[in-house]
Amino acid sequence: MPVRTRGWVAALGASAVLAALAPAIGGAFTGTPAAVKLISMIRAVYSRMPAASWVLTGDIVYCLDYPEGWTYAPHAGCQIPARVTEDDQLSNGHVVRAVGVVTAPSQPTLRYVISPHGWYLAAVGAKCWASFRLPYVSPLYISYPFPGQRVSILSATKSEIVIQALTPKFGLRELDYVDAKTLLEPRTVIFAVTKQKTYSYTYTSLPAKAPPSLATPACAGNAG
């Protein structure tokens, strides 16, 4: 369940989503006992991993309105399709540092760095990074449930288990494809219905590696 809460807060509207998420943060998943138990087992696997990497494709748009340089479609004023790659440093299953790259046709490639030290964004090759005064609370890599979300096992074979998570409140349907042997999640597909149109977003996991060390000097006048 690697939906990045920080991304959905931005995409769905910060104040409304934070208010809705408040009762759920730290809460347990609800649904069939088998699915809830499996998610707990997956979290235990990721709690022992030092890093995780992923690629995000689908209805993702290049968007300088956000400190990561991208967001989920639809978003007014941001129409160019984007591809995001992120390396996450993990500690006990929490993301303590993230380094990402955003690419889009005919646009400068962006790089972002997020950690307790701050949120930074810059075009690749730039000497200065824009610094955003935003708080950072290390999220779980296998994230918290959304309000009203229910999980179930959609299918299971010797090689793959598919978890379905339905969140009617936000029109979200998530499918998590789990390796039955390792309990890692090589792929997650999310469907979101907005104004009677369905958008899809696909997370593809990569071999884990620690985020690169990047100097992020903020330049005067760039603070967000």
Q: What is the pLDDT of residue 17?
A: 41
Q: What is the pLDDT of residue 7?
A: 53
pLDDT digits 0-9 by tens, 98-130: 999 999 999 999 999 999 988 999 999 998 999
Q: What is the pLDDT of residue 209?
A: 82
pLDDT digits 0-9 by tens, 54-100: 999 999 999 998 889 999 999 899 999 999 999 999 999 999 999 99
pLDDT digits 0-9 by tens, 173-207: 999 999 999 999 999 999 999 888 999 999 999 88
Q: What is the pLDDT of residue 18?
A: 39
Mean pLDDT of 121-146: 88
pLDDT digits 0-9 by tens, 21-30: 444 445 688 9
CATH numbers and ranges of domains, the chain: 5-206 (2.50.20)
How does residue 3 score in pLDDT terms, banded at 50, 70 and 90?
very low
* pTM for this prediction: 0.87
Neighbouring CB atoms inside 10 A of 171's CB total 16
Least confident of 7-16, 137-146, 173-182, 188-197: 7-16
Q: What is the pLDDT of residue 15?
A: 37
How does residue 218 score in pLDDT terms, banded at 50, 70 and 90?
confident
Neighbouring CB atoms inside 10 A of 209's CB total 13
